[in-house]
C-alpha cells in the first residue's frame, strides 16, 4: 500500500536557525517558509536527492507542535510521511486492521497541496505516520 518515503518531519524551536544550519553546514537546498494554518505549523522543506526533510515550527498558541517542543525543547523527529496512491482506500484498509486515523478520519490538504491523513503513533511502534496521496 505505501510507496516511497515522502519526508521526515523535524520539530524545531528556531525555524530560521534550523534552515540556516541545513543551508550552510550541510549545503542543502532550503525552501521558503510556508504557513499551514489548517495544521497549526509553519514549514520549510529541505530537498534531498531521494526525499525531503520538513522543518516544523508552531503557528499560533494552539499548534500541536507546542506540546511536542515542551517535551523536547531542543526539537526532534516528529513524524514520517509515506506516499499512497489512494488515500481513502489506504484509510479504509488501515481501519480494517485496527489502525486509528487521527482527527475526523477525513483527509486534509497538506503542505504539498495534496490530501493527507495522520495515523496514531501507538499503532505504529511509537511513530506518528502521515500518509500523502500522490
pLDDT over 70, % of the chain: 100
Task: Please write the tens of the pLDDT for every residue from 62-114.
Answer: 999 999 999 999 999 999 999 999 999 999 999 999 999 999 999 999 999 99
- CA–CA separation, 37 vs 19, rounded Å? 20
Average pLDDT (41-47) is: 98
Q: Is 130 a catalytic residue?
A: yes
Provide the sign of the torsion angle of the four alpha carbons 19, 69, 121, 64, taken in this order. Answer: negative
Provide DSSP, 73-85. Answer: TT-EEEEEEEEES
Parse the chain into domains and list their residue ranges: 2-133
Tell me which of 3.90.1150.200, 3.40.1350.10, 3.10.180.10, 3.20.20.70 is the CATH number of domain 2-133. 3.10.180.10
Tell me, what's the pLDDT at 40? 95
> Residue 102 contacts by C-beta under 8 Å, 6 or more apart in sequence?
117, 118, 119, 120
Which of 61, 70, 106, 130 is catalytic? The answer is 130
Query: Which grid coordinates belong to 38?
Result: 489548517
Query: Which grid coordinates belong to 36?
Result: 499551514
Tell me, what's the pLDDT at 73? 97
Average pLDDT (23-46) is: 97
Amino acid at each position: 500500500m505505501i510507496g516511497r518515503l515522502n519526508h521526515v518531519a523535524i520539530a524545531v524551536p528556531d525555524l530560521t536557525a534550523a534552515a540556516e544550519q541545513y543551508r550552510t553546514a550541510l549545503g542543502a537546498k532550503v525552501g521558503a517558509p510556508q504557513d499551514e494554518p489548517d495544521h497549526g505549523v509553519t514549514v520549510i522543506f529541505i530537498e534531498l536527492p531521494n526525499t525531503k526533510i520538513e522543518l516544523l515550527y508552531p503557528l499560533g498558541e494552539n499548534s500541536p507542535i507546542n506540546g511536542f517542543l515542551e517535551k523536547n525543547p531542543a526539537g526532534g523527529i516528529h513524524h514520517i510521511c509515506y506516499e499512497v496512491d489512494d488515500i481513502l482506500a489506504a484509510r479504509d484498509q488501515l481501519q480494517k486492521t485496527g489502525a486509528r486515523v487521527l482527527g475526523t478520519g477525513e483527509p486534509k490538504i497538506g503542505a504539498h497541496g495534496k490530501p493527507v491523513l495522520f495515523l496514531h503513533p501507538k499503532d505504529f511502534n511509537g511513530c506518528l505516520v502521515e500518509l500523502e496521496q500522490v
